[in-house]
Amino acid sequence: MKRPILIILAVLLADQALKFWVKLGFFLGESVPMFGEGHTWAYLQFVENKGMAFGLEFGGEFGKVALTLFRMVAVVGIGYLLWKAVKAKRSQGLVVSLALIFAGAMGNIIDSAIYGLIFDASTPFQKAVLFPVEGGYASFLHGAVVDMFYFPLAQGHFPQWLPIWGGEDYEFFRPVFNIADAAISVGVVLLILVQNAEERRTRNAEKQEQVVPPPAE
């Protein structure tokens, strides 16, 4: 059980440390090149997300509370699956993928649940303060998730002849995200790869059983 616990703690500590640093040190909307001036493909850009991963939102305030509660239920389910996987001594790939997803979900739950209670509001003109005397900017479960990684790797215009999007601007990669989002994404991709590998091994084992002739009497 030691490895998944270490993964979860490492992701949570890195995620929350970076979020605290950005929340307390950046103005809302402030953007800084990660690798110095002239490198326009990677930024730390402080945005606050009231919805899902990568800046997606839905359902207003009710939707936000519902999403946070859903995340909490999902974390309990993922934690149970992780515990079962460890107890059953499943593959390390499966255990690591579940640990990453669990840690990422927990990281964003912390923001949604308590950031509104412990920080005052960030604005383009004022940095946030931790434990402000007048209280936080939102109630329990109404906090915003702190995002900061922005990678505009490619920008341009779609050709005019292209249906629907012809002539419009495009940008890849537009969403701003955080370490927790990245952990969830890596965990999901790894989980898919592990499941596919296990299915292939199972199919190959079944084929070998069918090919091997029965022992001679």
The domain segmentation of the chain, as residue ranges, is 2-210
Q: For residue 153, what are the CA distances in angstroms to 33, 136, 150, 162, 172?
A: 13, 36, 9, 21, 6
Q: Which residues form the catalytic set?
A: 147, 181
pTM of the model: 0.85
Place of tokens 């207003």: 60
Report the alpha-carbon distance of residue 74 to residue 100 in Å, rounded. Answer: 13
CB 164 within 8 A of CB 194: no
Q: Digits of tens for pLDDT over the chain (217 positions)?
A: 788 999 999 999 999 999 999 999 999 999 999 998 888 899 999 999 876 555 555 555 666 677 788 889 999 999 999 999 999 989 999 999 999 999 999 999 999 999 999 999 999 999 999 999 999 999 998 899 999 999 998 888 888 888 877 778 878 888 999 999 999 999 999 999 999 988 888 888 777 777 656 665 5
